[in-house]
Chain A
Amino acid sequence: MGGARRVRVPSLVVTFPTTAAAMSCEESCARRGLGGRMIPVPGEVAAGCGLAWKTAPEDRAELEGALAVDGVPVEGWAVIELLEFR
């Protein structure tokens, strides 16, 4: 990370009602080859704790369809600018 600067990048953040649902999302995405990764829930989306799924905003339609088919309950969808080092 030496010399990297922090920048903000628009990201799709998916939140879940339970940790179990968040882990199901990860499993569903891995099985289907969808991108993204788990992050701590950003305070901008929800105060407190928990897990969220972070991916590119343009992936929303495909992800939404996959989670619906797999029966993964979702609490909310948001596009926010998240910190990255580049």
Chain B
Amino acid sequence: MIYLDNAATTMHKPREVVDAVCEAMGSLGNAGRGASAGALDAGRVVLRCREAMARLLGCPRADHVCFLANSTAALNAALSGLVEPGDRVVTTVLEHNSVLRPLARLADERGVEVAYAGCDAHGFLDMDELERLVCPGTRLVAVTHGSNVTGNLVDVARVARIAHAAGALCLVDASQTAGAVPLDMAGTGIDVVCFTGHKGLMGPQGTGGMAVAEGVDVQPWAEGGSGVHSFERRHPLDWPTRLEAGTLNAHGLAGLAAGIAFIEKNGGPAAVGAREHVLARRLWEGVHDVPGVTVYGGWSVAPERCGGIVALNVDGLDSAEVADALSSGWGIACRAGAHCAPLMHRALGTERQGIVRLSCGWFNTEDEIDTTVAAVRAIAEG
């Protein structure tokens, strides 16, 4: 199989990640639940992962990295924990449903006003429109760091400046970029970063969370077991416990820590992202001028602002048909359809056809890319 669906999950994990999970499942107790050797070992694993994640995101306080099940859980918790009834939130058409749907719920249930900044013809965020929409009284600006459809990157440092100038907070969805694009919370002033462990961070599914800047008050999303203050009626508000009710996924976090270590060993997110960029650029160069192929995203105008994705369609063919042909004919795994990003597809005019998303990862090779180029060409010429 040629695996080009790394934007969905990095199916091929470093051996160290697999080994770390297996070892953890045979040795760890419950982190923060007692002082047995296994419980303490689990606590140490979780702490090591917290520290690694803080280092990777430029979050000054490791205890402000809170682990949840995935990005969707983190985004729900962050949005719900930051936004009050009647608040105004500005977001973008680039967002995944993991941002759009929680905001729709907040609009329905808390009367939250939500405004959406658009994009240009290449799918790049319209920063001028975003700036116009972020007016005084805006509580939060929620943006993705990279579109999960086109791979186009967003200048989140600039978004943070725009948000702060209006007195708003800045939340970044780093689901598609964590581990592959550098991010520096302290340097940019970003208030909250939500991440998932199983994509660019190369960790197991079921891991993720959020990093929160000091002084930003995210209210608990759930209450329950905390391992401390058991006689208090409500869940503790101390970090990171406030957002970590219940048993942590220490087995998964052992793997996530190993994934981060693998990334750091190979030069960090910039080096990993550069490798994916080289592969995606090779793919784009091979397919962009094939008759009948339409490529979306910013590769033709600003490749330096593109991630490891090439999004395309073949004239006259449904994206699902192309994905099925790639899979059944060449063993190429990719993703067709709407990618849970309805506003992005509406903006690109691909609601009906969908898009064939080919997303590169660390373990892809030039030969795999060349085979994929040949396959796309054959389908288009067929």
Contacts and interface: CB of A to CB of B under 8 A. Distances in A.
Q: Do A and B come from one complex?
A: yes
Contacts of A40: 319-320, 323-324, 336-337
Nearest to A50: B337
A12 interface: no
Which has the most chain B C-beta neighbours within 10 Å: A4, A40, A50? A40
Contacts of A50: 337
A85 to B, nearest CB: 6
A41 B378 contact: no
A48 B337 contact: yes
B320 A39 contact: yes
Given A1-B329, A1-B378, A43-B352, A49 B318 contact: no
A76 to B, nearest CB: 15
Interface in B363-382: 375, 378-379, 382
A44 B318 contact: yes
Q: Is the interface of A mostly helix, strand, loop or mixed?
A: loop
A6 interface: yes
B329 A48 contact: no
A5 B378 CA distance: 9
Interface in A18-74: 39-44, 47-50
B321, B340, B378 — most chain A CB neighbours (10 Å): B321
B340 A47 contact: no
B343 to A, nearest CB: 13
Interface string B311-333: 00000011111111100011000
Interface residues of B, number: 25
Contacts of A42: 318, 320-321
A1 B353 contact: no
Contacts of A83: 317, 321-322, 324-325
Contact of A1 (B319, B324, B342, B375): B375
A82 interface: yes
A49 B378 CA distance: 25
Contacts of B78: none
A1 B372 CA distance: 12
Contacts of B338: 47-49
A43 B354 contact: yes
Nearest to B334: A40
B382 A49 contact: no
Interface string B161-197: 0000000000000000000000000000000000000
B288 interface: no
B290 to A, nearest CB: 15
Interface of B: 317-325, 329-330, 336-340, 342, 351-354, 375, 378-379, 382
12 contacts: A1-B330, A1-B375, A1-B378, A4-B329, A5-B382, A6-B379, A6-B382, A40-B336, A49-B336, A50-B337, A82-B324, A83-B322
